[in-house]
Amino acid sequence: MKKYKAGIINVTGYAGLELARILESHPSVELCSVTGRSLAGKKLSDVFPYLHRLDLPITENLEGQVDVAFLALPHKEGAALVPALLEKGMRVIDISADFRLKDPALYQAWYGFEHPCPGLLEEAVYGLPELKRKDIAGARLVANPGCYPTSAILGLVPAFKSDLIEPSAIIDAKSGLSGSGRTPTVKTIFCEADEDVCAYSIGTHRHQPEIVQELCRASGGVIPRVTFCPHLVPMSRGILSTAYARLKQPVTDEEVKEIYRQFYKDEPFVKVTAEPPHTRYTRGTNMCFIYPVVDALNEQLIVISCIDNLVKGAAGQAVQDMNIMLGLAETEGLEAMATLP
């Protein structure tokens, strides 16, 4: 059976390493090339012994035949590389934010740089399979959604599409520390983060325009008012988002749950739960657990959604996109269940 060849640009970050872990056991794809500027010349399995079955050299550039290239670089560092990869006939999946936003002016406003190839923004497909599956299937370039937006959008889209709620929402989200990447900062070192929870980037988080953009599409072009407040919690991985929105008309709790169940009934990686989910239910998996509930007293919809920020929020969703782009079974390589404790 033919195996497609995959490469990872910047394998040494958390998202790149998680990609390598998932691809190692993929039945239809072989990871054949990985890059990492600071570790070029070393072997992946030597630097990261837990990836002991991946005896690949870390190089400065992708080498050999590559059918699918994953970019796991920080924002603005990978965008300029994409045109050359596309010219070589590669499918490209960018895990950074560089192709998620359609308006190039938003990159200057929210990310502080002028986009180097704005012409590709319209072509890039936002890689949330539950909403863009058909577009992803024919795409050359997929923009992998952010971790916070994945949990928030999946939690709210059924309500927006069903016209259940007013075009506004408050999203209170909590993330594990791996969402900040491997480069240590004061707020992510153990002595600072342990026994502590803090809000950050209130009203200025770079994922906010991404959430607004996709919820606007879901609501038929009405731009929603979104208040997004992220928090860091002292755990390694996981995101729990709680979204609040005002109902347009009275509706029962069971009616809302049925709307959500029907919306996601054919989705392999979304489960509507009977009880509020825990982040540990998703640990190491590509699942998103969603719990909608009606606060009848205050005429509010409350939606809890949980994902693993490194899997469904990054590497796992990228592999899900890859499967769709290559015409493979969408669940290939992503069947793992969570581990406890």
Q: In this predicted model, what pLDDT tens digit does every residue of 152-170 receive, in sequence order?
A: 999 999 999 999 999 999 9
Do 16 and 8 form a contact (C-beta atoms < 8 A)?
A: yes
Quote the CA–CA distance of 221 and 136 in Å, as a whole number. Answer: 21
Boundaries of every domain in the chain: 4-145+312-325, 147-309
Note the pLDDT of residue 36.
Answer: 94
Q: How confident is the model over 5-20, as a mean pLDDT?
A: 97
Cα 133 from chain centre: 15
CATH superfamily of 4-145+312-325: NAD(P)-binding Rossmann-like Domain (3.40.50.720)
CB atoms within 10 A of CB 229: 16
Residue with tokens 């919690």: 233
Note the pLDDT of residue 38.
Answer: 85
Residue 187 binned pLDDT confidence (cut-offs 50, 70, 90): confident
Query: 105, exposed or middle or buried, with CB in 10 Å at 0-12, 13-18, 19+?
Result: exposed
Residue 133 binned pLDDT confidence (cut-offs 50, 70, 90): very high
Note the pLDDT of residue 10.
Answer: 96
- pLDDT tens by residue, 189-242: 999 999 999 999 999 999 999 999 999 999 899 999 999 999 999 999 999 999
Residue 340 binned pLDDT confidence (cut-offs 50, 70, 90): confident
- pLDDT tens by residue, 247-302: 999 999 999 999 999 999 999 999 999 999 999 999 999 999 999 999 999 999 99
- pLDDT over 80 at 63, yes or no: yes
Quote the CA–CA distance of 235 and 233 in Å, as a whole number. Answer: 6
- Reduced to 3 states (helix: H, G, I; strand: E, B; else coil), residue 78 is coil
Active site residues: 147
What is this structure's pTM? 0.96
Residue scoring higher pLDDT (187 or 167) = 167
Give the chain's mean pLDDT. 96
Closest CA relative to residue 245, chosen from 155, 131, 174: 155
70 φ/ψ angles, rounded to the nearest 5 degrees: -100, 130
Do 223 and 212 form a contact (C-beta atoms < 8 A)?
A: yes
Question: What's the first-to-final CA gap in the chain, in angstroms?
Answer: 37
Note the pLDDT of residue 2.
Answer: 77
Which 8-state DSSP code applies to residue 305?
E
Note the pLDDT of residue 267.
Answer: 98
Question: Tokens in use for 180?
Answer: 């900040």
- pLDDT tens by residue, 293-330: 999 999 999 999 999 999 999 999 999 999 999 999 99
Quote the CA–CA distance of 127 and 322 in Å, as a whole number. Answer: 10
What percent of the chain has pLDDT above 70?
100
Quote the CA–CA distance of 56 and 315 in Å, as a whole number. Answer: 19
Note the pLDDT of residue 53.
Answer: 96
In the chain, the DSSP E strands lie at: 4-9, 29-35, 58-59, 68-71, 91-94, 125-126, 141-143, 168-175, 198-199, 225-232, 239-246, 270-272, 288-295, 300-307
- pLDDT over 90 at 331, yes or no: yes
User: Class of 147-309 per CATH?
Assistant: alpha beta
Residue 76 binned pLDDT confidence (cut-offs 50, 70, 90): very high
